[in-house]
Amino acid sequence: MKNLFITGASSYLGKNLIEALNDYKIFALENSKKIELSNNINVISQLPKDLNEFFNKNKIEYIVHLATNSNRDNERLELENIVSTNIELGLKIQRASISSSVKKIISAGTYNQDVIVNPQSAYALSKECYEKFQKFFSTQFYINNTSIHFGDIYGPNDFRNKLIPYIKKHENDKYIEFNSDGNSYFSPVYIGDAVGAITDEFKSTSKHSFLSKIVASDLITVKEFTDLYKQIRHKNFECKFLGNVKQDYISTKDFYPSKNLKFDLVYGLSSI
């Protein structure tokens, strides 16, 4: 049985990942949301003071770093928390992994790192900054790091304030209002594919110091997505795009989505 340390274990992705890891001993860092207990889960209420000692004592082989602060509404007020969670926590994990039992650190990034010219938020900037530190620790200290650039993860029982849960909540209304112009890109990725991308890293025998991989579907606009949503779920709501959001995209012809996603949009949207 392999031993894992997971941050962000009570996030949507974290909870689904834990459910798929019955054969692993999990040390799960809990935040404000509680983690359901089971025989293979050890819940940690706060970060151990000596992480290196913790990793070695518990023979941690893999770290899945999912903890993130993605608050985009009050970034000026949340800036210190964003830096603390998205950068400083990751640095503590990287430093503690030196001379430890840890074989690989797997972190969650975003496909926006590959399609947007300049970070449009403190969240995106922090993700980009942390990934540079990942490369640094991989080069200088030979720590295996994998950064997975996820698309827009969705699936059943999604409790987050995201596009698909928002649409589902209002899908039987006559109108749905959006605070954008509908022309920004969207890359829906079913939760099963996101979990699979992480568990594949446990099985991988490739030798690398740093690897970045994209787990994202073809890019479509929000307007295109809402049309597909209505077709697949047989809904008739009308969309009102009230905002005017202009992203500075890199040419998307060089964006290469994942070729091995197992769950298409028809399956995914039918399951929510």
**Domain assignment of residue 65, given as a range:** 3-271
At 37 the pLDDT is: 73
Tally of domains in the chain: 1
**Residue for token digits 């001379």?**
99
Q: CA geometry: angle at 194 spanning 25 and 73, to 5°?
A: 105
DSSP E strands, 90-222: 104-110, 145-150, 152-154, 175-178, 185-186, 188-190, 210-215, 220-221
Distance CA 123, CA 149 (A): 14
Spatial contact of 150 and 216, defined as CB atoms under 8 Å apart: yes
The CATH number of the domain holding residue 138 is 3.40.50.720
Cβ-proximal residues to 4 (8 Å cutoff; 6+ apart), any chain: 21, 24, 25, 26, 27, 60, 61, 62, 63, 64
pTM given for the model? 0.92
User: Which residue stretches of the chain have pLDDT < 70?
Assistant: 32, 72-75, 118-120, 245-251
